[in-house]
Amino acid sequence: AQKITQTQPGMFVQEKEAVTLDCTYDTSDQSYGLFWYKQPSSGEMIFLIYQGSYDEQNATEGRYSLNFQKARKSANLVISASQLGDSAMYFCAMREQGYGGSQGNLIFGKGTKLSVKP
């Protein structure tokens, strides 16, 4: 069964510094997608970044980058130049293969609560 592990329940980072949120995954599929979402205290889930299993380069989206190490089955999120508004829960997720090879539902890790200190 597929599984996502986030080992850091909570993290603190000083404003303007970089922070890495860890994520490891377990799957027997060759083709899979990895996602990071941000959930502020208001509850909405905000998509941040995507990495495909066949992508040769690490994904980047503005201040977010994904450190993808396929052999180690890790997909860590790096947030550069942290801002106070980055304080939130961060979830790593993997997409299961659906019917006929299509996209399927997401399997989520338990999340990391990031607190940015001024």
Partner 1 sequence: EAGVTQSPTHLIKTRGQQATLRCSPISGHTSVYWYQQALGLGLQFLLWYDEGEERNRGNFPPRFSGRQFPNYSSELNVNALELEDSALYLCASSPAAGYSNQPQHFGDGTRLSIL
Instruction: By CB under 8 A, name the binding residues for partner 1.
Output: 31, 33, 35, 37, 42-47, 50, 52, 91, 93, 95-96, 98-111
- Rounded to a whole number of angstroms, the minimum distance from the CB of residue 27 to partner 1 is 14
Q: Rounded to the nearest 5°, which phi and psi values hold at 61?
A: -145, 95
Contact 79, 18 (CB under 8 A): yes
Of 50, 52, 49, nearest to 30 by C-alpha is 52
Q: Strand 60-61 vs strand 64-69: parallel, antiparallel, or unpaired?
A: antiparallel
The rounded distance, in Å, linking the Cα atoms of 65 and 73 is 16
- Rounded to a whole number of angstroms, the minimum distance from the CB of residue 66 to partner 1 is 13
Instruction: Report the chain's terminal Cα–Cα distance, integer Å.
Output: 41
- Rounded to a whole number of angstroms, the minimum distance from the CB of residue 45 to partner 1 is 4
Cβ atoms within 10 Å, residue 102 = 8
Closer residue to partner 1, CB minimum distance, 7 or 103: 103
Closer residue to partner 1, CB minimum distance, 62 or 98: 98
- Rounded to a whole number of angstroms, the minimum distance from the CB of residue 111 to partner 1 is 6
Closer residue to partner 1, CB minimum distance, 14 or 61: 61
Closer residue to partner 1, CB minimum distance, 19 or 95: 95
